[in-house]
Every structure is written in C-alpha cells, then in structure tokens.
Amino acid sequence: MGNFTTEDGTRLYFKDWGSGVPVVFTHSWSLSSEMWNYQMTHLADQGLRCIAYDRRGHGRSEQPWDGYDFDTLSDDLAALMDHLDLTEVTLVGHSTGTGEIARYLTRHGSERVAKVVLVSTLTPLLRQSEEYPEGVPGSVFDDMRTQIGRDLPGWVDAIAGPFFGEGTPGVALSQSLVDWSVWDTRAVSVRAMLALSRTMSETDFREELAHVTVPTLVIHGGADSFNPVELCGRGTAKLIPGSVLKVYDDGPHGLHLTHMGQLGTDLLEFITQSAE
C-alpha cells in the first residue's frame, strides 16, 4: 500500500498485492478500489500481482475540485503505471473505470499494456442525442444529479437494490455484502460524483474503441439496468477489433459481488492464456 502523485500534484492511494504478471484495476464511479477485494485476493493467490488505486475524489485519495474528465483520469492511471514502472499489464475496469482504460489507450498507447478487460462497461456512449437515439435519455442523468445534490444517502439507498440485481432470479446477495459495498460511497466527495456523472454519461468513445489493438475481453450482465448490455456490452464488443464478449445472463451491474466466483475464474483464464 502506498501513494503516488499525479501530474497536477494530486496524491492518490494504491494497494499492491502479490507478485508476478501485473493486473491493474480501475473502479466504478462512487466506489473505490475496495470493490475489487475478492478478485484481487483470488488472482494474487494464483500468482499474479494485483494493483488497484482510488480515483481522485474517491476512497483514500485526495479530493481536488477539478480533474474529473477522462483525459485527466487516464493521465492519473498513466502516472501509476509510470510510478511502478509496470509492463505487460492487464487492465481491468468496471463501469466508469472502463472509460479511463479506453482513454488511457488513446492518450498513452499500449506499450505497457498486454490485455484489457472491460466489466459492466459504459462505453461506447451512454447519453441519448438526436444523432444517437439508442442512448439513455438525458433526463435520467439530470434527475440523478438532482437527487445526489439534495440527498446522496437517499440516492445510494435507492440504487443499491438495482445495482446488485435485487429481485432478479438467480441472483442472491447477502444484505451484509450490500451494506459493505454501499458504505464505500461515504468516502466519495459529492463534487467528484456530480462532475464525473457528466463525464461518464456524455463522453463518446466510439471512434477510440475502433483503434484498440490489444486483446480485449468484455464482460457484461444481461440484466444490467444501468449500462444496458445491448447498448454497452454488445456495442463495445462490436467496435473493438477481435474482442470477446461474455454475457452473464442474470447479471446486474455489480458483477464483482453478485458473480464474484465466475468473474474471478474468467479473469484468471483470460489473463493467463497464451496468445494464439
């Protein structure tokens, strides 16, 4: 565990477990690196080096006012990679973390990157427009920001059930695990959540994804009510040349807990398999 400093002087927290081929995890919006505890433990036990950091404004990292755009966030990821001098890395991201990975590849290239895994991805583009009618209506994000600005704990309570697939056949997550995950939101600044909500909903990755050249695995829940599988999972896999899509039919957005065993197995298989 340690800290590193970004280009604009922001101090970010990271943890570094195990040894071997490195795997770097980027986390979801409103959570922190804690979300990856089970996957990191599993992979480190299998001889991999697992690294995760808290995005600016989240977890144990500093909370600056600015920098919640994907250019800056991907530069933060690059600063971590440089700080630890990592090579042959597999980048694993969840939701907003997938945007950081996509932009990292655009801005910093794939010299340090061997493979990519996008879990519950928000790419290629979420927000609906006249030119992009298949997207999610903008009012959904506007209403979300209004709720967060007025009553963040109330908003968290309202979305926890759908996030973890409450009521979905085949999905059964203990209330203690839900509570443990929800507690993570207390360490996120409201400023970061509001600013990043625009970034994650309005950034268009369609052109960038077409230029991804490293082996990519896309994992998505078929019952994801936040980033719909047809729009995001399948939409992303269609754009990244040679990518592989795995859909967990009953999976909600929070696959890292609801499908922790299956996700850990799929990550390990993808990371350790030799290139054909």
User: Phi then psi for 72, rounded to 5 degrees?
Assistant: -65, -45
Which entry of 95, 181, 197, 201 is annotated as an active-site residue? 95
Those residues with Cβ within 8 angstroms of residue 261's Cβ, 6 or more apart along the chain or in another chain: none
Query: Is 224 one of the catalytic residues?
Result: yes
Those residues with Cβ within 8 angstroms of residue 121's Cβ, 6 or more apart along the chain or in another chain: 93, 95, 98, 218, 220, 227, 232, 233, 236
- Contact in structure between 40 and 22 (CB atoms under 8 Å): no
Query: Is 197 one of the catalytic residues?
Result: no
Nearest to 83 by CA among 42, 53, 44: 53
Q: Read off the DSSP letter of residue 127.
A: B
Which entry of 224, 243, 256, 266 is annotated as an active-site residue? 224
* Cα distances (angstroms) measured from residue 268 to each of 19, 23, 40, 50: 14, 10, 10, 12
- Contact in structure between 235 and 253 (CB atoms under 8 Å): no
In which order are the strands placed within the sheet that holds 49-53? 2-5, 11-17, 49-53, 22-26, 89-94, 113-119, 216-221, 244-248
Which entry of 253, 256, 259, 266 is annotated as an active-site residue? 253
| DSSP E strands, 29-112 | 49-53, 89-94
- Contact in structure between 251 and 162 (CB atoms under 8 Å): no
HSE-CB of 142 using CA atoms within 13 angstroms: 4
Q: Which helix (H) or strand (E) holds 190?
A: helix 190-202
Catalytic residue set: 95, 224, 253
